[in-house]
């Protein structure tokens, strides 16, 4: 059965205290919260609808620029989560398949979890399945209310819950799977008789029960995955949680992380076996790192970096949008951006690829072919190509292409004034 996804991303995120950035576009290791959610549904949902509201133009641009099968739907005014989902009803008027509903501020949810959730829905022959989890401190979450025979009855929001209901530890994870054809009518029947005066998405459960539809709850054991971001404190905590699981995955796959407390690696980075990541290294965005590499300490990979096997990226090196071929060494205190480095290249300490033109505001590429040697404190002013085997002397500023096996120098002649110091004492 076909699956479509609806992602709720219209909220203002008041507690984020941000003037310019909507909550769902805040980032964890170079990737937006909304990006994590969309990436986790795009491989099994044929189409994604993102409900936008606060800072709608920014969110729309992000979706349009990055996701070909995702569409934005404006919710204005914003009258609650049930009202938000109802915004897709015109687009799905004749749709007969499954709809999975998620929140755009839960970046820790895994694709594997969502697939298992849908499998449970199908195997249980459910018309609606809500994901739940157990929290020792459930404050702020809607409570899962079950009947005496342990069947799902309804969800009660924190502000509407009685004291007895507030003591319940099973909470709503905010993710739903429903047979759209059977439930689309629910969105026209929702009421606002609650403390918030809003149309609650959770009320579709009671509606389904009233229609004698099969309603179930799927308990997620790993409650960390539905951790929501509502403040900068939540953002920092989610970042730590995500990094911990990323590092554990890499170490399990044969990567050495020297210091897990100071190393940060994005989940969209692929790292080969026997690579060593030294302390205080920060790797964000999408990257591929080969086998038997040494990265850091204090290195920064900013995304779109491809590192082949047996590469060393030294202390205080920054790399961005670059390919570094096998057996190449990038010495400490260097910047490699918008560049392509061949095999067996040696980059001396303090080398800069000057890739940005501040007048045209464009970036251009530096290409170093195989066996090139760059002396320390050199500047390679892009666009520039250094052909195979060429050497660049220390302290050079390279503004023209260098032919193969040549030596390029821009060094002023050395002058020595004997006894200059003694005469001035």
Q: What is the pLDDT of residues 23-66, one digit of tens each?
A: 999 999 999 999 999 999 999 999 999 999 999 999 999 999 99
| Tokens (6 digits) for 157 | 């929001």
189 plus 42 within the same structural domain? yes
Both ends of the chain: CA-CA distance in Å?
89
Shortest CA distance to 8 belongs to which of 107, 108, 133, 105?
105
Does residue 180 share a domain with residue 57?
yes
Give the DSSP H or E segment for 164.
Answer: helix 163-166
The yes-or-no verdict on residue 424 having pLDDT over 90 is no
User: 306 and 341: one domain?
Assistant: yes
Tens of pLDDT, residues 79-128: 999 999 999 999 999 999 999 999 999 999 999 999 999 999 999 999 99
345: left (phi over 0), alpha (psi -120 to 50) or beta: beta
E strand segments, 104-250: 128-134, 143-146, 152-156, 170-179, 215-220
- Flag whether pLDDT at 246 surpasses 90: yes
The reply to whether 222 and 342 lie within a common domain is: no
Q: What residues are annotated to the active site?
A: 332
- The enclosing H or E element of 265 equals strand 264-265
In this structure, of 41-50, 235-244, 412-421, the range with the lowest mean pLDDT score is: 412-421
Q: At what angle do helices 56-66 and 33-41 cross, to 10 degrees?
A: 40
Tens-digit pLDDT profile for residues 283-305: 999 999 999 999 999 999 999 99
In a domain? residue 234: no
Local structure of 187: helix, strand or coil: helix
Answer whether residue 70 is part of any domain.
Answer: yes
Predicted confidence (pLDDT) per residue in 151-206, tens digit? 898 899 888 899 999 999 999 999 999 999 999 999 999 998 887 888 999 999 99
Q: Are residues 181 and 320 in the same domain?
A: no
Q: Is the residue at 323 inside a domain?
A: yes
pTM (predicted TM-score): 0.92
Which residue in the block uniquely carries the two structure tokens 């950035």?
21
> Average pLDDT of 307-331?
98
Q: Under DSSP, is residue 218 helix (H, G, I), strand (E, B) or coil?
A: strand
* Residue 417 domain flag: no
For residues 251 and 259, give the distance between their C-alpha atoms in angstroms, rounded to a whole number: 11
Reported in sequence order, the residue ranges of 325-406 that DSSP labels E, i.e. its strands, are 329-330, 335-341, 346-347, 352-354, 356-357, 362-363, 366-368, 373-374, 379-381, 384-386, 391-392, 397-398
Q: Is the dihedral of CA 22, 23, 24, 28 positive or negative?
A: positive
Mean pLDDT for the chain? 95
- 376 lies in a domain? yes
Could you tell me how many residues make up the chain?
Answer: 425
pLDDT at res. 231: 95
Q: Dig out the tokens for 64 from the structure.
A: 């349009």
Q: Are residues 290 and 402 in the same domain?
A: yes
Q: Is 312 exposed, middle or buried (0-12, 13-18, 19+ CB in 10 A)?
A: buried
Query: Alpha-carbon torsion 96, 98, 100, 101, what sign?
Result: positive
In a domain? residue 299: yes
Among 64, 66, 60, CA closest to 30: 66
| Final residue of a structural domain among 175, 210, 226 | 226
| Residue 133 sits in the same domain as residue 203 | yes
DSSP 177: E
Could you tell me the residue range of the domain that residue 133 belongs to?
A: 3-226
49 beta partners: 6, 71
User: According to the 3-state scheme, what is the secondary structure of 14-73?
Assistant: HHHCCCCCCHHHCEECCEEHHHHHHHHHCCCCCEEEEEEECEHHHHHHHHHHHCCCEEEE
Nearest-angstrom CA–CA distance, 33 and 103: 10
- The CATH number of whichever domain residue 189 belongs to comes to 3.90.550.10
**pLDDT tens by residue, 346-394:** 999 999 999 999 899 999 999 999 999 999 999 999 999 999 999 999 9
Is the confidence at residue 149, as pLDDT, over 90? no
Indicate whether 32 and 71 sit together in one domain: yes
Domain count, the chain: 2
Domain at 261, CATH number: 2.160.10.10
Q: How many other CB atoms are found less than 10 A from the CB of residue 417?
A: 7
Instruction: For tokens 């001035």, name the residue.
Output: 424
Place of tokens 């002058």: 415
Say if CB 308 and CB 326 are below 8 A apart: yes
Inside any domain, residue 418: no
Give the three-class secondary structure for 309.
coil
Q: Residue 412 — pLDDT band, cuts 50, 70, 90?
A: confident
What integer is the mean pLDDT of 325-331?
Answer: 97
């Amino acid at each position: 059965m076909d699956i479509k996804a609806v992602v709720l991303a219209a909220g203002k995120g008041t507690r984020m205290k941000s003037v310019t950035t909507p909550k769902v576009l805040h980032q964890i290791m170079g990737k937006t919260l909304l990006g994590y959610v969309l990436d986790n549904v795009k491989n099994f949902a044929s189409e994604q609808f993102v409900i936008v509201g606060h800072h709608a133009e920014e969110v729309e641009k992000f979706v349009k620029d990055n996701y070909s099968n995702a569409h934005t739907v404006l919710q204005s005014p914003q009258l609650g989560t049930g009202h938000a989902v109802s915004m897709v009803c015109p687009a799905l008027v004749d749709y007969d398949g499954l709809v999975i509903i998620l929140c755009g501020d839960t970046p820790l949810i895994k694709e594997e979890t969502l697939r298992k959730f849908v499998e449970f829905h199908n195997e249980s022959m459910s018309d609606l399945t809500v994901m739940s989890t157990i929290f020792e401190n459930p404050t702020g979450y809607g409570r899962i209310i079950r009947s005496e025979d342990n069947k799902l009855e309804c969800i009660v929001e924190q502000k509407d819950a009685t004291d007895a209901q507030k003591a319940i530890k099973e909470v709503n994870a905010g993710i739903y799977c429903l047979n759209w054809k059977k439930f689309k009518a629910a969105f026209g029947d929702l009421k606002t008789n609650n403390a918030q005066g809003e149309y609650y998405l959770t009320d579709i459960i009671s509606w389904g029960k009233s229609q004698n539809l099969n309603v179930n709850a799927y308990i997620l054991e790993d409650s960390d995955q539905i951790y929501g971001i509502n403040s900068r404190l939540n953002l920092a905590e989610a970042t730590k949680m995500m990094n911990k699981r990323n590092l554990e995955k890499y170490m399990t796959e044969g990567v050495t992380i020297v210091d897990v407390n100071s190393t940060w690696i994005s989940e969209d980075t692929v790292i080969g076996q026997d690579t060593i990541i030294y302390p205080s290294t920060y790797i964000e965005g999408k990257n591929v790192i080969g086998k038997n590499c040494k990265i850091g300490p204090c290195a920064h990979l900013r995304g779109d970096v491809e590192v082949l096997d047996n590469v060393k990226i030294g202390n205080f090196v920054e790399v961005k949008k670059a390919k570094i071929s096998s057996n190449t060494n990038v010495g400490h205190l260097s910047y490699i951006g918008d560049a392509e480095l061949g095999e067996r290249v040696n980059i001396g300490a303090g080398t800069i690829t000057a890739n940005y033109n501040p007048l045209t505001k464009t970036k251009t590429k530096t290409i170093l072919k195989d066996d090139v040697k760059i002396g320390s404190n050199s500047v390679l002013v892009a666009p520039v190509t250094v052909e195979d085997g060429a050497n660049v002397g220390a302290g050079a500023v390279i503004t023209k292409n260098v032919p193969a096996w040549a030596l390029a120098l821009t060094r002023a002649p050395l002058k020595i004034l004997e006894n200059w110091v003694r005469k001035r004492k």
